[in-house]
């Protein structure tokens, strides 16, 4: 049996359908979307299939029935009507100035005029050309117009470290996107995709009737591959593969539908002869996140059990960047659980989605923030000591770890002068090992700094800096071991003291719980 080709990097719907590539049918969701709303926004991390879904919508509206043979929408959509489509995409290239943004709009609107066979009186870089193009397309085709905007926020995200420029670009985008609201009578549908939903932009307040479907359960599977997709459509490509391991490595993204895979990971995994690698993570470098971690002195163990409200998940403020929001919207964190609070608001618990992201993100932090050149032997030593419940070995491994951090790194960066630094270093090494860790572990008597849950034992850690308090005694006094005694595992209480002067452990003590 000849297998269909893998659509790696292909975002053109017609190319996939006509070129005999694998296609996961999303057209039932597309039909429901088009029947339900007029103005829609969808946020998903990069490489999740947003551009392909948007191009699918374009082909539906343009009446390309032959491309939908055998798909869910084939017998549902009225193919006798086609609509003029204006397609705007910032996926290509990088905008570095407001002039670049104007040039990009000029390029986009010239292409759309040529495709639609209309000519604007206003210059293509003028927002009035956008408005004129909508009106003229409506007049020429005697149908309402469809506007599709791909990666609407990329010009801002590409310059997020340069706040003044990011603000200028935001205002420039608002100027153009406001045309959509002013053209309501001429529009059939408008769809915007991006990674982030910015606040205080007027992009969304200007479109006050836009519907954000990013966390609507019924559209949770609109992008990405589900477990069922992987086990059925991709089954012939995965013969002899440990599917439990595939799920552990690449599944886990949650948009309140099914647990999803990033398509890029699955396609690259198959193409690379079933080699487990960090395909998605390597396709983009989170340099900006590292700068934010350093700048905000972020306490990394918080990522192990992060709770946020719905408002936080839906906000991205250029003027007040929130690391947790960026990690979530960029795909480094995803939703674990949702519960209703006493105040009838929703609370989300976030988690790192899978083994690929957990290992890669923490390794990247080790490489860029801690700059440990011997991280592999260090991690091996740590893991072996915990596996064997070798407390002197664990102490020695941590001591070696902090001794290996370059001294000049400390002199250039005051990150080590806040208490959370030492716990954060221990945390990222343990996380990069793929261990089950709970940061700020809540008990009925207080919060445990760090809990490590392994098959044979549970380790409860308390950190102190510069002699502030007695770590082990606190663990005993608070009775933290009681939380886990019912699990029938050996429990170890570990008190670790750090010295900012020595930049290492100053005291290490432990006891059985």
pLDDT above 60: residue 411: no
Q: What is the pLDDT of residues 365-393, one digit of tens each?
A: 888 877 776 778 888 999 999 999 999 99
pLDDT at 6: 98
pTM of the model: 0.90
pLDDT at 410: 52
3-state secondary structure of 240: coil
- Find the mean pLDDT for residues 41-49: 94
Tell me the pLDDT band of 233, cut-offs 50, 70 and 90: very high
pLDDT at 322: 83
Cα atoms found within 13 Å of the Cα of residue 403, Cβ hemisphere only: 9
Tell me the pLDDT band of 206, cut-offs 50, 70 and 90: low
pLDDT above 60: residue 414: no
Greater confidence (405 vs 180) lies with 180
pLDDT at 409: 53
**How far is the C-alpha of 382 from the C-alpha of 401, rounded, in Å?**
9
Tell me the pLDDT band of 204, cut-offs 50, 70 and 90: low
pLDDT above 90: residue 222: yes
3-state secondary structure of 40: strand
Match 């491309």 to its residue by tokens.
67
Could you tell me what percent of the chain has a pLDDT over 90? 67
pLDDT above 80: residue 96: yes
Query: Quick one: CA torsion of 460, 306, 153, 175, rounded to 10 degrees?
Result: -140
Cα dist from 243 to 48, 112, 202, 249, 257, whole Å: 21, 45, 45, 10, 21
pLDDT at 24: 98
pLDDT at 503: 86
pLDDT at 277: 96
- Find the mean pLDDT for residues 318-329: 85
Greater confidence (206 vs 289) lies with 289
pLDDT above 80: residue 11: yes
pLDDT at 513: 84
Tell me the pLDDT band of 145, cut-offs 50, 70 and 90: very high
Cα dist from 75 to 15, 82, 281, whole Å: 22, 16, 39
DSSP secondary structure letter of residue 502: T
* Least confident segment among 132-136, 211-215, 315-319: 315-319
pLDDT above 80: residue 36: yes
**How far is the C-alpha of 349 from the C-alpha of 258, rounded, in Å?**
16
- Find the mean pLDDT for residues 339-365: 90
3-state secondary structure of 81: coil
pLDDT above 60: residue 397: yes
Could you tell me what percent of the chain has a pLDDT over 70? 95
pLDDT at 334: 95
Greater confidence (3 vs 414) lies with 3
- Cβ–Cβ < 8 Å for 510, 390: no
Helix (H) or strand (E) holding 191: strand 187-194
DSSP 112-156: HHHHHT---SS-TTSHHHHHHHHHHHHHHHTS-EEEEEESTTHHH
**How far is the C-alpha of 260 from the C-alpha of 164, rounded, in Å?**
36
Tell me the pLDDT band of 419, cut-offs 50, 70 and 90: low
pLDDT at 484: 94
pLDDT above 70: residue 432: yes
- Find the mean pLDDT for residues 87-91: 95
Question: What mean pLDDT, rounded, does the chain reach?
Answer: 90
pLDDT above 80: residue 207: no
pLDDT above 70: residue 417: no
- Find the mean pLDDT for residues 224-253: 97
pLDDT above 90: residue 274: yes
pLDDT above 90: residue 140: yes
pLDDT at 290: 83
């Amino acid at each position: 049996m000849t297998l269909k080709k893998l659509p790696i990097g292909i975002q053109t719907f017609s190319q996939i359908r006509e070129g005999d590539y694998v296609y996961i049918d999303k057209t039932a969701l597309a039909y429901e979307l088009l029947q339900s709303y007029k103005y829609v926004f969808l946020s998903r991390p990069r490489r999740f299939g947003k551009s392909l879904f948007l191009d699918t919508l374009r082909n539906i509206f343009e009446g390309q029935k032959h491309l939908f043979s055998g798909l869910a929408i084939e017998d549902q959509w009225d193919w006798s009507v086609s609509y003029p489509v204006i397609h705007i995409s910032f996926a290509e290239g990088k905008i570095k100035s407001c002039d670049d943004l104007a040039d990009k709009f000029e390029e986009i609107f010239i292409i759309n005029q040529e495709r639609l066979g209309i000519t604007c009186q206003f210059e293509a870089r003028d927002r009035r050309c956008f408005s004129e193009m909508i009106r003229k397309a409506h007049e020429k085709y005697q149908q309402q117009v469809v506007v599709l905007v791909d990666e609407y926020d990329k010009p801002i995200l590409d310059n997020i470290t340069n706040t003044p420029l990011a603000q200028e670009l935001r205002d420039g985008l608002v100027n153009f996107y406001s045309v959509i609201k002013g053209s309501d009578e001429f529009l059939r549908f408008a769809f915007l995709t991006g990674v982030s939903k910015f606040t205080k932009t007027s992009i969304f307040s200007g479109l006050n009737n836009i519907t954000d479907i990013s966390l609507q359960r019924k559209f949770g599977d609109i992008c990405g591959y589900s477990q069922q997709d992987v086990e059925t459509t991709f089954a012939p490509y995965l013969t002899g593969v440990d599917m439990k391991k595939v799920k552990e490595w690449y599944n886990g993204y949650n948009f309140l539908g099914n647990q999803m895979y990033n398509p890029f990971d699955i396609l690259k995994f198959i193409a690379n002869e079933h080699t487990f690698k960090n395909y998605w993570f390597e396709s983009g470098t989170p340099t900006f996140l590292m700068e934010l971690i350093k700048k905000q002195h972020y306490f990394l163990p918080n990522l192990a059990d992060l709770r946020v409200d719905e408002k936080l998940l839906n906000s991205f403020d250029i003027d007040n960047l929130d690391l947790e929001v960026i990690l979530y919207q960029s795909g480094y964190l995803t939703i674990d659980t949702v519960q209703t609070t006493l105040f009838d608001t929703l609370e989300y618990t976030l988690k790192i989605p899978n083994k690929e992201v957990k290992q890669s993100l923490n390794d990247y932090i080790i490489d860029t923030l801690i700059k440990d050149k011997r991280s592999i032997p260090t991690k091996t030593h740590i893991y072996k000591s915990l596996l064997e419940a070798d407390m002197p070995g664990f102490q020695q491994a941590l001591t070696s770890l902090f001794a290996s951090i370059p001294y000049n790194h400390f002199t250039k960066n005051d990150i080590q002068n806040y208490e959370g630094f030492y716990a954060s270093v221990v945390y990222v090494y343990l996380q990069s090992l793929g261990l089950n860790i709970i940061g700020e572990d809540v008990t009925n008597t207080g919060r445990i700094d760090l809990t490590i849950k392994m098959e044979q034992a549970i380790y409860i850690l308390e950190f102190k800096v510069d002699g502030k308090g007695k770590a082990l005694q606190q663990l005993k006094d608070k009775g933290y071991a009681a939380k886990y005694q019912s699990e029938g595992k050996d429990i170890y209480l570990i008190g670790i003291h750090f010295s900012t002067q020595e930049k290492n452990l100053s005291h290490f003590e432990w006891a059985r719980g």
